[in-house]
Each structure stands twice: as structure tokens, then as C-alpha cells.
């Protein structure tokens, strides 16, 4: 396992910047800050990208500008150009089915109704890419989901999500080293 592309899912624009659905962007912004990456807007990849040389090799960061429902368009454009296979991609995203502040890491699986994951799966024809699932909790009623993900979390919930992002970044070296079991143990521990 070697990760060559790390994608953060979210919606572009200031009106979405602080909404729960942008947890993947928050993760990627913090990673870019730590890695001293410089974002560049690239029309041909439909998003903001950064290219970093790491001991593991060259790694791309991508924040799609396509809005959540078309995330796969940006991921596929960059991945196909650089011949990055789905199993070399890590997608960080918000996850309703996980309590706020918890993290899950996995390869493949369903999309849980997440439109960003759905579109990436459709563009690649496979669910076999890595996911860093950042728990945002569930509003309790599926009719409230859209309003919930497109609104700001409470201060307490945002602090829990930020803590999860911090822990995810601490676990990232295990993911990058290809140690899936250790990464899973570390990230899933409370």
C-alpha cells in the first residue's frame, strides 16, 4: 500500500467553509499547513492541488472545487493523468454514521449515502480506495441530514472534530508507511 493522492472532500465557497460537510477540507488544510504545502488552483483537475516530495515519494493533495456531488470528476482527472490507482488514494470525509470526534479508517466498502464517495466510486468503477472517515454525528432523523451537514457544528462538536483531525494527522505516518493494522488500531482507539 502506498498513498500517492490524499483528497479532502468538501464544498467550495465561504458559505460552506465552516459546515460539517467540509471536515475533509479541514483535515487537508491542516495537513497542508504541517507539510508546508502551497495550494495552487488547477482548472484541469477541477480543484486546488499541492504536490509534496516526502520520504515515501511524491504525494498529491487535492481539494475538489466541483461541489460534493461531483467530487469524482476532480479525483479522476488528477488520478488518471498521473496514473494513480484507486488503492493509492486516501479520501478524508465527514461521516454521519460515526459519533462526533471519532475516526474510522478503511479500504473500500459502501458509500453510506455520501454523495462525494458515491461520485468517486462511479468515476472509478470501484469502491477500493482508502477512506479516513471523520465522525460528525447524526441529527437523529434522516429528513434532517441535509440541513445538518450543511450547517456549522456547535463549538463543542467542532472541538471534537478538530481533535479527531489532530489524531488523524498523528496516525497518517502509519497509513503512509502501509501499516494498515497499526493505523486502524491507533485511529479507532478512543
**Residues annotated as catalytic (active site), given as ranges:** 21
Per-residue burial over 35-71, b = 16 or more CB atoms within 10 Å of its CB, e = otherwise: bebeeeebeebbbbbbebeeeeeebbbbbbbbbbebb
Residues forming a β-bridge with 92: 8, 132
Is 16 marked as binding a ligand?
Answer: yes
In 10 A of CB 24, how many CB atoms? 28
For the chain, list the strands marked E by DSSP: 5-8, 40-42, 47-54, 57-64, 89-95, 103-107, 130-135
Cell representation of residue 49? 492541488
Inter-residue contact 20 to 94 (CB < 8 Å):
yes
Is 151 marked as binding a ligand?
Answer: no
Is 148 marked as binding a ligand?
Answer: no
Question: What DSSP element (H or E) covers 129?
Answer: none
Binding-site sequence positions: 16, 67, 69, 115
Q: Extract the annotated binding site for tRNA.
A: 16, 67, 69, 115
Amino acid at each position: 500500500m502506498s498513498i500517492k493522492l490524499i483528497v479532502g472532500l468538501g464544498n467550495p465557497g465561504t458559505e460552506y467553509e465552516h459546515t460539517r460537510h467540509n471536515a475533509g477540507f479541514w483535515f487537508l488544510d491542516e495537513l497542508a499547513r504541517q507539510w508546508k504545502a502551497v495550494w495552487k488552483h488547477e482548472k484541469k483537475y477541477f480543484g486546488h492541488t499541492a504536490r509534496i516530495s516526502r520520504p515515501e515519494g511524491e504525494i498529491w493533495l487535492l481539494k475538489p472545487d466541483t461541489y460534493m456531488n461531483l467530487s469524482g470528476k476532480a479525483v479522476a482527472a488528477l488520478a488518471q493523468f498521473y496514473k494513480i490507482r484507486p488503492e493509492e488514494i486516501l479520501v478524508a470525509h465527514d461521516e454521519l454514521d460515526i459519533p462526533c470526534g471519532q475516526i474510522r479508517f478503511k479500504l473500500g466498502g459502501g458509500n453510506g449515502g455520501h454523495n462525494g464517495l458515491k461520485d468517486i466510486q462511479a468515476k472509478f468503477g470501484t469502491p477500493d480506495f482508502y477512506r479516513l472517515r471523520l465522525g460528525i454525528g447524526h441529527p437523529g432523523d434522516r429528513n434532517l441530514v441535509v440541513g445538518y451537514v450543511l450547517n456549522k457544528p456547535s463549538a463543542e462538536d467542532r472541538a471534537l472534530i478538530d481533535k479527531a483531525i489532530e489524531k488523524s494527522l498523528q496516525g497518517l505516518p502509519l497509513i503512509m508507511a502501509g501499516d494498515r493494522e497499526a493505523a486502524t488500531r491507533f485511529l479507532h482507539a478512543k
